Amino acid sequence: MFAPVYLDHNATTPLDPRVLEGMLPYLREQYGNASSRHEYGRAARRAIDEARQRVAYAVGAHPTEVVFTSGGSEANNLFVKGAAACLKPGVVAISAIEHPCVREPAKALRRAGWTLREIAVDENCRVASANFQAVLEEKPALVSVMLANNETGVVQDIAALAAQVKPIRAWFHTDAVQAFGRRPVDFRALSGAGVHALTLSAHKLGGPKGAGALVVDKRVELQPLIAGGGHERGLRSGTENVAAIVGFGLAAELAVARLDQNGRGLAGLRAELEAGLVAQGATIFGAGAERLPNTSYFACPGIDGETLVGKLDRAGFAVAAGAACSSANPEPSHVLLAMGIPSSLARGAVRVSLGPDSTAAQVGDFLAALTTTILQLRGLTALTS
């Protein structure tokens, strides 16, 4: 019997069995509150401290710079809203391809008197240099540009961008959720270039959902989103989710250990995948830029992406029509529109994101199913036209 094939790792990843094993004690016998003064509480606090060290080491940060949150969305909101609350209203600049959890809080700042500027990207999803310089001339106080795009997988040269921002003394943030675990992320090196904060999430690298972090330079002043008991240096109150944080630490450590091996293997699989896609007449979005090795975002002319994803799902292949968080939105991807892709082609977008357990056989089976499905859909279109 054919086993379903999961090819949507940019949406979420399966929980690594080793991570689950490490979490289980904190869901069973080690159930203490990390703020309690007895041994149960001290054990929980030690576990959180160890996880913080693991996450910090994985991205070249100091443990005191790691603020645990419920995930990437909260961490991005904490930076955008939290930093803005400590500054006079000015200009906030974000790239036109940011995830909604950066776009929406940035838009919300307008109600507090901020001016929002979106930084344009080129046809390959890279920040457009001339437009970036034009935005910097307005001297923004906050800048956020993601390290790797969740849809196209395109990687930005964050160090170079931050170096250009540095002279105007703006706080610079990068959403590294998709990049972490798929390419090296070095906060110390980025900090030297002018990056002040970056966002991470556990469930993108074999960890549990419900755990993320904002890695932030201690010179940055933030107002917390959640007030209460003063947890996480007063930046994120609330009893810590010990099991999820422990899982995050383990997942970060494991992901960094297998980074090179996974990267080489996934890049090879993607090359096989995209050779087959091109043979189908597909357009590969962002193919002219550096991308995450696991991500391929494509469209076949005349084929609706949502329809194709549904047909492939019934054939046993889990892929995505863009970002999982925007799956209920019928509009074309804002990322593709920002790249200048026509709406007619953008509506056909499908994302395949490979994982460490993906195989050449699965890629071959997917391409065979895709060929059959496209022929069926084009046949139906011909009959009804």
d(CA 211, CA 201): 6
DSSP 314: H
Read off the pLDDT band of 261 (50, 70, 90). Answer: confident
Give Cα separations from 15 to 204, 209, 254 (angstroms). Answer: 9, 9, 12
Indicate the average pLDDT of the chain: 95
DSSP 304: -
pLDDT over 70 at 83, yes or no: yes
d(CA 177, CA 170): 22
Give Cα separations from 171 to 46, 142, 250 (angstroms). Answer: 32, 5, 30
Q: What tokens appear for 89 in the block?
A: 């209203």
- Given this model, what pLDDT does residue 263 score? 86
Per the listing, tokens 């011909």 go with 382
- Given this model, what pLDDT does residue 262 score? 84
- Given this model, what pLDDT does residue 379 score? 80
- Given this model, what pLDDT does residue 381 score? 56
**Catalytic entry in 86, 101, 125, 325:** 325
pLDDT over 60 at 325, yes or no: no
pLDDT over 70 at 235, yes or no: yes
pLDDT over 70 at 1, yes or no: no
Average pLDDT over residues 315-331: 75
pLDDT tens per residue across span 34-77: 999 999 999 999 999 999 999 999 999 999 999 999 999 999 99
Per the listing, tokens 């329809």 go with 307
pLDDT tens per residue across span 140-157: 999 999 999 999 999 999
Read off the pLDDT band of 330 (50, 70, 90). Answer: low
d(CA 236, CA 239): 9
| String of DSSP letters for 58-105 | HTT--GGGEEEESSHHHHHHHHHHHHHTTS-S-EEEEETT--HHHHHH
Model confidence, pTM:
0.94
Average pLDDT over residues 162-166: 98
DSSP 110: G
d(CA 78, CA 222): 8
- Given this model, what pLDDT does residue 3 score? 83
pLDDT over 60 at 132, yes or no: yes
- Given this model, what pLDDT does residue 258 score? 92
Tell me, yes or no, if 86 is annotated catalytic.
no
pLDDT over 70 at 328, yes or no: no
Rounded to 5°, the CA angle 371-374-378 comes to: 140
Average pLDDT over residues 5-28: 98
DSSP 201: E
DSSP 38: S
Hey, which residues does 352 pair with through a beta bridge? 296
Task: Residue count of the chain, please give it.
Answer: 385
